Amino acid sequence: MGSKTTKIRTTFACTECGAQSPKWAGRCTECGDWNTLVEELVGGDDPAANVPLAPTKRSGPMRIGDVPTDIARPISTGIDELDAVLGGGLVAGSVTLLGGEPGIGKSTLLLQLLAARQGATLYVSAEESAQQVRLRAERLDAIRPDLWLQSETSLPHILQAIDDTAPELVVIDSIQTVADPALSSPPGSVGQVRGCAHRLVNEAKERNIAVVLVGHVTKEGSLAGPRVLEHVVDTVLQFEGDRHHALRLLRATKHRFGPTNELGLFEMVGAGLVAVPDPSTLFLADRRTGIPGSAVVPTMEGRRPIVIELQSLTTEAIPNVPCRRSAQGIDGGRLSMLMAVLGRRGRLKVGDHDVYASAAGGAKITEPGLDLGICLAVASAMSDTPLPPDLAVFGEVGLGGEIRQVSHAPRRITEAVRLGFSRVILPAKSPEPDEDVRDHVRLIRVDTIAAALRAAGLDGSSGSGLRAV
């Protein structure tokens, strides 16, 4: 009886979508991304090579009304901002992937999460030593008798630790540094990340415990490692922010147990991450009035209105060089489109200017309500004319130069009024705010970009020397 020989072969796997290919190519044939194929060794019986995407626990069909509902009930994490993003908390038996750039505060947030939780919890650090984690936990006031710590990268040892401590919540920091020696692909490879994640997903379902995996993201903002991870887990959270600012934004980009449009806001301080109860005030804290190129926009994040400042700077472009469109915290493609509309429909000479636009304070917002604010900030910069200090503006700008309605106009107006703004330029057909708000604000309804520029005192027909309101 000859033993079954394991044939080791090489294959190429896409780090984005996980697709395999027998030979290298510059572009993945599955997802179309460039330069994502990496070489991997695959043993003939390597389970990572054909890991199914969903757990394969067998269960018979059930009447839909008989399916128990209590397993999917979220349990509060003890951190309000996180609960808001998760629609109540973490669900037992679920797996959450927390993505974010290195240094953004993922480990900090998760240590705080573990410490806030009642019952046994386990923190597996596959990147830092136990001493390092303990020191951080001391600073965060997270030393608790029920919080277990293991510094470990080997998957079987991690599963053993879960066995030993029987936690209700496990954090693996990070999934990219965990490896299963039973898999022949090298640590950090697509096969390893996928194989280990899959084992942990099965573990979470079988033991009915909540598991949080940390995933690093690349500079471009996508999760490093296979995109298949996103399909395997129940929830994907993105932790973002500018490392040089204290503000951190937490969003769910996928969530099987609730909405994905709520935003959590944290500030990184000496004792860890603290909630930001009034983000509008924080975003406007450094605003200086009377400066050209600044516009204030009440924007919506989920159900939450946040007032932010948009800033723009324009300079004459070098002749015969394509002009620059540089966007920070706002969508670059959107900025280019808006500049085209501003040029054609607003008759502003943006075509021969470099345009820089940013959301002040490290905010990252992509929401159509910003459009009109971006346009007025650029028009204000172009004409060197500041917008009135008490003016807020919101509305979507269409390709025809029309101003379109956006969601929750009354809430936006109310938030602007709360912060002391007394004039709002808004889409013509927006619904009215409550009466007590209406008395404190002048609503200037506009239906075209040209009308908006006129209303803001930035009529662009002459290109310079414009009047203020």
Q: By CB under 5 A, name the binding residues for Mg ion.
A: 107
Give the number of C-alpha atoms closer than 13 A to the C-alpha of residue 244, restricted to the C-beta side: 3
Within 138-167, the residues that bind ligand TYD by CB under 6 A are: 139-140
CB of 94 to Mg ion, least distance (A): 22
Which of 2, 103, 145, 431 lies at the binding interface for ligand TYD (CB under 6 A)? 103
Phi, psi of 434 (to 5 degrees): -60, 160
Out of 75, 92, 104, 147, which residue is the one contacting ligand TYD (CB under 6 A)? 104
Q: Which does 136 bind (CB under 5 to 8 A by kind): Mg ion, ligand TYD, none?
A: ligand TYD
Applying CB under 6 A, the span of 72-80, 263-271, 293-301, 363-371 interacting with ligand TYD comes to 263-271
Angstrom distance (rounded) from CA 117 to CA 342: 51
Q: Which residue is nearest to Mg ion (CB)?
A: 107
295 touches, from Mg ion, ligand TYD, none (C-beta below 5 to 8 Å by class) = none
Sign for the pseudo-dihedral over CA of 346, 348, 353, 356: negative
- Among Mg ion, ligand TYD, none, what binds residue 256 when CB lies within 5 to 8 Å by partner kind? none
Among 134, 136, 144, 445, binds ligand TYD (CB under 6 A): 136
In this structure, the strands spanning 272-275 and 263-269 are antiparallel
CB of 265 to ligand TYD, least distance (A): 16
Question: Does position 108 bind ligand TYD by CB under 6 A?
Answer: yes
**CB 173, min distance to Mg ion, A:** 6
Question: What is the CB neighbour count within 10 angstroms for residue 37?
Answer: 24
312, containing H or E segment:
strand 304-316
> Which of 100, 195, 361, 395 lies at the binding interface for ligand TYD (CB under 6 A)?
100
Q: Are 78 and 169 in contact (CB under 8 A)?
A: no
**What is the smallest separation between the CB atom of 95 and ligand TYD, expressed in angstroms?**
19
CB 457, min distance to ligand TYD, A: 43
Q: Judged by CB, which is closer to ligand TYD: 11, or 174?
A: 174
Contacts of 279 (CB under 8 A, 6+ apart): 265, 304, 306
Q: How far is the CB of 140 from ligand TYD (least distance, A)?
A: 6
- Give the residue from 366, 390, 363 showing the smallest Cα distance to 282: 363
CB 129 within 8 A of CB 177: no
Nearest to Mg ion of 111, 265 (CB atom): 111
Q: State the CB neighbour count (10 A cutoff) for residue 259.
A: 12
Residue 142 near residue 187, CB atoms below 8 Å: no
| Least CB distance to ligand TYD at residue 170 (A) | 16
* Whole-Å CA distances, 350 to 321, 375, 393, 467: 14, 11, 21, 19
Closer to ligand TYD by CB, 101 or 396: give it. 101
Query: Rule CB under 6 A: which residues touch ligand TYD?
Result: 100, 102-108, 136, 139-140, 268, 270-272
